[in-house]
């Protein structure tokens, strides 16, 4: 049986200067906040003109919340002993760059505060009911790795993150532009929910060994690595088939089929996870999964935009 020869040791580079803080935000995850807001806004264009200041406020608030959630993850994984200087896919500011854990936690809280200010502006322009929705989303962002029973340590991490950072962001972005939520907007948000969940699942597949040692009970751990990769592939397949069905049934313009241009990314991600199992080896699959979410949301939004003007 063929076994791939692996390097004896992998050296992890230490960031310096501004890169320390940039890596703390885990920039490869920020597309999970951008794509849904863009898509929700493009869907809303079918119902009226774009309110650009609200779009911008929503976009920045979403990015701040994603950054803060990543920092909570960095802080609490360190406190629980899950991260060390050899951990792959983390910001590494605490374990590799010597930043005080309290500094990371305080920075996350500051970003939450800034997003609250933007949320107040959005509520003033739309509805104060959004304050309750936003508060729940922020609480979930904290509880994802914080609190006594972190969501990320359970089999529900993909479901919760997909719903909040995928579907909910699209519907909020849609609502602040239109003042309502339609069935069509909900239908078009389903693939985003699956693809954001796919980002979290890919992360858990990569970290399955370390997470098992740390006592996590993620979906990937419970079903096993091979089945987890199969579920990841199903997330991808359902997302594309969903849009094809919506086109065939007339819920969205054929221009939505632009999303098919992004198919090489999930194909490559799945093949990489099937071929390799070392964390450093599957990092390209992690990138492809995140890019899939970004390209899918952008291409679907662009397709909807083109159909609007034709």
Token digits of residue 72: 């909570």
In a domain, 6, yes or no: no
Q: Is position 39 within any domain? A: yes
Q: Is 249 exposed, middle or buried (0-12, 13-18, 19+ CB in 10 A)?
A: exposed
Contact (CB, 8 A) for 9 and 154: no
Alpha helices in the chain (DSSP H): 18-24, 31-44, 52-79, 101-125, 129-143, 157-162, 169-178, 183-206, 208-213, 219-223, 225-248, 264-275, 283-309
| Residue 123 within a domain | yes
| Residue owning tokens 């006594």 | 148
Query: Tens-digit pLDDT profile for the chain (310 aa)?
Result: 433 333 434 444 455 566 777 777 777 778 778 889 999 999 999 899 999 999 999 999 999 988 888 888 888 877 777 665 555 555 567 766 677 888 888 999 999 999 999 999 999 999 999 999 989 888 888 888 777 888 888 999 999 989 988 899 999 999 999 999 999 999 999 999 999 999 999 989 998 988 888 788 999 999 999 999 999 999 999 999 999 999 999 999 999 999 999 999 999 999 999 999 998 899 999 889 999 999 999 999 999 999 988 8
Considering the domain boundaries, does residue 11 fall inside one? no
85-to-99, 241, 286 alpha-carbon distances in Å? 13, 41, 20
Domain residues for the domain of 208 are 18-309
CATH of the domain at 30: 1.10.600
* Domain assignment of residue 173, yes or no: yes
Question: Is-above-0.95 flag for pTM?
Answer: no
Number of domains in the chain: 1
DSSP-derived secondary structure letter, 163: I
Question: Do residues 91 and 73 touch, judged by C-beta distance below 8 A?
Answer: no
Residue 168 lies in a domain: yes
The answer to the question of residue 12 being in a domain is no
**Cα 192 from Cα 198, distance rounded (Å):** 9
Q: Is residue 46 part of a domain?
A: yes
């Amino acid at each position: 049986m063929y076994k791939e020869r692996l390097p004896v040791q992998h050296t992890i580079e230490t960031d310096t200067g501004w890169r320390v803080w940039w890596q703390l935000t885990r920039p490869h995850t920020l597309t999970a906040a951008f794509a849904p807001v863009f898509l929700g806004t493009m869907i809303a264009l079918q119902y009226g003109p774009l309110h650009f200041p609200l779009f911008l406020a929503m976009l920045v608030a979403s990015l701040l919340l994603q950054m803060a959630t990543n920092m909570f993850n960095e802080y609490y994984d360190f406190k629980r002993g899950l991260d060390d200087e050899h951990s792959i896919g983390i910001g590494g500011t605490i374990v590799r760059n010597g930043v005080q854990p309290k500094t990371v936690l305080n920075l996350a809280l500051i970003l939450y505060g800034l997003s609250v200010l933007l949320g107040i502006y959005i509520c003033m322009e739309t509805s104060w009911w959004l304050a309750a929705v936003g508060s729940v989303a922020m609480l979930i962002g904290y509880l994802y790795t914080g609190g006594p029973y972190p969501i990320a340590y359970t089999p529900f991490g993909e479901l919760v993150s997909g719903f909040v950072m995928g579907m909910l962001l699209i519907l909020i972005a849609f609502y602040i532009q239109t003042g309502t939520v339609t069935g069509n907007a909900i239908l078009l948000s389903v693939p985003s929910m699956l693809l954001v969940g796919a980002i979290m699942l890919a992360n858990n597949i990569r970290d399955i060994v370390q997470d098992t040692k740390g006592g996590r009970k993620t979906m990937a751990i419970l079903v096993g690595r091979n089945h987890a990769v199969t579920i990841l592939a199903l997330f991808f397949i359902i997302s594309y088939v969903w849009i094809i069905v919506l086109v065939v049934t007339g819920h969205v313009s054929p221009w939505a089929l632009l999303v098919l241009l992004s198919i090489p990314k999930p194909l490559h991600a799945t093949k990489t996870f099937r071929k390799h199992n070392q964390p450093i080896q599957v990092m390209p699959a992690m990138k492809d999964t995140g890019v899939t979410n970004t390209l899918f949301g952008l291409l679907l939004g662009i397709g909807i935009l083109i159909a609007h003007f034709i």
